[in-house]
Amino acid sequence: MAKFVELWVYLSATPLFGLTATIVTYVIAHAVYARLGQAPWANPVLWTVLVLVAVLAITGTPYPTYFAGAQFIHFLLGPAVVALAWPLWLRRAELRRRAGALLVAALVGGAVASGSAVALGWWLGLTPELLRSLAPKSVTAPVAMGIAEQLGGIPALAAVLAVLTGLVGALSAKYLFDALRIAQPEVRGFALGTTSHGIGAARALQVHPGAGAYAGLALGVQVLLATVLMTALGRLLSS
């Protein structure tokens, strides 16, 4: 037993642990998700995060130790944002034709998502630091961190809130759109990508390729709009 504990202490402190745990848990969660007919509540990101948080809490592994391995996956978020140029390029003709409507919808939708979060949070008595971390929550996590930093929020918390927002969208979009009788896959995808960025886009992509492309586009547009508008706001606030 003592030998096993010694071995665990050694293994859990190497980067190998964080990387292996993340990929293995995700692969299993994804298999279960596919098995359950891609039910929204079986979302693989949600369950992978919950299982890993439980494992870290039970074994008393600090987050930095886990991240030493998980950072290799985290790093790929940067190239993934660059890669969004590809689905945009594929649909460039269609997008150019619809650019005006898409831009207006992205601007209004993003402003409603961010503005209502800050207003509601303020009304519920959240601290200014929390409100500043909430503002960029509809933008993909790596970019939300940068914006939160410029606004004077907590970058790591902003990233967690962005992931939570992504999960809320991915889990509930189907029911919301059905209730609102919105049937067009492109509209559903674009709305999901606008508020719930990459996690929403991943969900949209699994449901319908057209919805996925529009969700990817929405995510890209939101990144551009939010960084330009919110950093301008940040400079205004700090000046």
Partner 1 sequence: MDTLRGFACLLLCQSAGELLARGASLGLPGPVLGMLILLLLLRVEAVRRPVAAAADALLSHLSLLFVPVGVGVIAHLDLVAHYGARLLLVVLLSTWLGMAATALLLRKLWQRAD
Using the rule CB under 8 A, which residue among 148, 151, 161, 211 binds partner 1?
A: 161
Minimum CB distance to partner 1, residue 12 (Å): 14
Residue matched to tokens 């590809």: 86
Minimum CB distance to partner 1, residue 2 (Å): 28
Minimum CB distance to partner 1, residue 16 (Å): 15
Residue 32 interacts with partner 1 (CB under 8 A): yes or no: no
CA 186, CA 193: separation in Å to the nearest integer? 10
Residue 16 interacts with partner 1 (CB under 8 A): yes or no: no
Binding to partner 1 (CB under 8 A): which residues in 69-88? 70-71, 73-74, 76-88
Phi-psi domain of 14 (left: phi exceeds 0; alpha: psi -120 through 50; beta: other):
beta
Which has the closest alpha carbon to 169: 143, 142, 137, 144?
Answer: 137
Residue 52 interacts with partner 1 (CB under 8 A): yes or no: yes
Using the rule CB under 8 A, which residue among 146, 152, 208, 233 binds partner 1?
A: 146
**Burial bucket for residue 210 (CB in 10 Å: 0-12, 13-18, 19+):** middle
CA 158, CA 134: separation in Å to the nearest integer? 6
Residue 166 interacts with partner 1 (CB under 8 A): yes or no: yes
